[in-house]
Amino acid sequence: MQSFTALVRPPGTRFSQAISEHPQKKGIDQPRALIQHQSYVDALKQVGGKILPLPTADLLPDSTFVEDTAFVFGETAFLCSAKEETRRNEVESIAKALKDHLKIVNLEPHMDGGDILNTPQAIYIGLSKRSNERAIHSLSQKIDKEVISVPVVKGLHLKSAVSYLGNNVLLIDPERVESDAFKNFQWIEVEGKDSYAANCLALGNQIIMPAGFPKIHEKILQHGFEAVELEMSEFEKADGGVTCLSIILP
């Protein structure tokens, strides 16, 4: 079982005002989101995680999506600068929590951590509504690993459509990204009504995934991984996924 630390923050009282293009965004249920978030934390503990909890930030509706604020690589946390003005104040409290554990480096605007996919071969960064070439170049100049930009055709972030599971295997919805960048990987294709399941969190051999996608679940098992399913309905309504709710530290 992999040993890691996960920084998390529960959804605050204004979570229902999170930025979202989901058709059910007006139906976000904050109390239910709190229950689902606790199940997420319990799952992280189940697969070997130590939890670094932050208190709710009630004035910041999207603050539970901590992944977007920082990218952890080795012993360094690269702080992201959000394009959305309502999200820019999220970074300060994250930086305070991380500075006791990691070196802190600031990136040029604008980038969300949800666009950054780290694989053994390279770091892939989505060129999306939230991340631009300037920020991608900024990271590439500060890190000793190949950085490859990937246009996001549909959806919010690169990791909304692509997850690295391990053993050279990707979960990918090829209709939502310029998928040629990933031709050297083995694919589990996730399309159509199953597209939300493309965002999963791999922790060693354990894959935390949204519940309700039996075909994808079975394919993950067939590739030798184990899967933990979680109800994610309220976070889906807020355009968030499994990876969005944590920053994983070594």
* CB crowding 179-208: b at 16 or more within 10 Å, else e: bebbeebeebebeeebbbbbbbbbbeebbb
Residue 137 bears catalytic tag: no
Contact (CB, 8 A) for 75 and 87: no
- Backbone region of residue 239 per phi and psi (left: phi > 0; alpha: psi in -120 to 50; beta: other values): left
> For residues 66 and 97, what is the distance between their CA atoms, to the nearest angstrom?
12
Active-site pick, 37, 80, 157, 200 = 157
Concerning whether 101 is annotated as a catalytic residue, the answer is no
Q: Which amino acid is at 133?
A: E
What phi and psi values does residue 91 have, to the nearest 5 degrees? -70, -35
Name the nearest CA neighbour of 122 among 53, 34, 62, 181: 181
Contact between 94 and 247 under an 8 Å Cβ cutoff? The reply is: yes
Evaluate the omega torsion of the peptide bond into residue 110 and state whether it is cis, within 30 degrees of 0: yes
Alpha helices (H) in 133-199, listed in sequence order: 133-140
Residues marked active site are found at 157, 244
